[in-house]
Structure 1
């Protein structure tokens, strides 16, 4: 009997061991599953953190690009304004010099071309220097005599009927006109035929 009891106790112990082993295995499975779930949760949290970081990085990169574009536009606009101010200043100075050049031309009309008078030669040299300076600044005389009247470049102050001339033909230039970089500084004052 004692053997029977021992056998029964051993069986019970084995059952308890088996139950414990199965419980341990189940708990191991649960632990593994919970570890997997935790790993998934942490990876999800990390990916969310990474996603939010990526979004923040993209936002900052976009902001930097916009700032750079804005600065580039500012620089270009500033350069255009500077050029426009320079051109306005040059036009203003040229406009003030043109009456002086007109007076030189009137003075030179009264001088013979082959003269040896040093004053006359000095005036011719100064006039040549003026015209060279104007060419260097890209100031051009508006072609007028014999041309067709163009209100963009010419100012008609007189009208004459002449059968030998064409329609709206300029027959006399009363005052020369000039352009600076394709913009009119002063219109030519002209007499127009027909």
Structure 2
């Protein structure tokens, strides 16, 4: 082998590793490029997913805002209705308290008319017996009106003393009654339905 052949062999031996290095570099470059492209695709996919998620969140927030506005409007309407109801109820209570005695007064007017007639007749007629009968009839009329409203007198005499119904003003000795019995009624007591309107003023045996 001459000198030229040896040099040529060395040159070819040197070129082969360089070519292999170039191939390796190009492969590595291709891998990096592919990896970069894959990374870009992943980033794009993640960005798309994030955008879709943000759109869903925004849509949900918008629906929640609409629901809040709807609830606020309902609350305002309910509050306005309640305020109107409260004012109407207060007015009705005031009207009721103002005219609560209307029915009773209407029933008492005929009694007042009869009293006026009796007084007028007593001036022209000195018949006191007739006047007494007229007053008795008016009293019965008045008593009937009050009874229709639930007023009734107490029956106190002969019953045991009860501080819920009786007001004792005096103790007296009595041979007919045991101790603690109402023996005399000084002022009549009245019940209005089931409630004591006025206790009876009584004398109690000692």
Whole-angstrom CA distance in 2 between matches of 1:141 and 1:43: 81
With over 3 angstroms needed to count, the CA separation of the structure-2 counterparts of 1:69 and 1:166, relative to structure 1, is farther
Q: Kindly report which structure 2 residues correspond to 1:1-194, keeping only aligned pairs within 5 A, or say none.
A: 27=40, 30-47=43-60, 49-50=61-62, 52-53=64-65, 56=68, 60=72, 67=79, 74=86, 78=90, 85=97, 117-194=129-206
Higher gyration radius (CA): 2
Q: In structure 2, do the counterparts of structure 1 residues 148 and 71 end up closer, same or farther at CA, with 3 Å as the change threshold?
A: farther
Give the TM-score taking structure 2 as reference length. Answer: 0.52
Range with bigger deviation, 37-46 or 76-85: 76-85
Q: How much has 1:84 moved relative to structure 2? A: 9.3
Structure 1: where are the runs of 5+ without partners? 1-18, 94-116
Closer/same/farther in 2, CA of residues 176 and 45 from structure 1, 3 Å limit: same
How many matched pairs?
153
When residues 82 and 147 of structure 1 are mapped into structure 2, their CA distance, relative to the original with a 3 A threshold, is: farther
Corresponding residue for residue 10 of structure 2: none
Are the structure 2 counterparts of residues 54 and 165 from structure 1 closer, same or farther at C-alpha, using a change threshold of 3 Å?
farther
Task: Return the structure number with greater relative CO, CA threshold 8 A, min gap 6.
Answer: 1
**SS of match in other structure, 2:47:** helix
> So what's the TM-score if we normalise by structure 1?
0.54
Alpha-carbon RMSD across the aligned residues, in angstroms, is 4.7
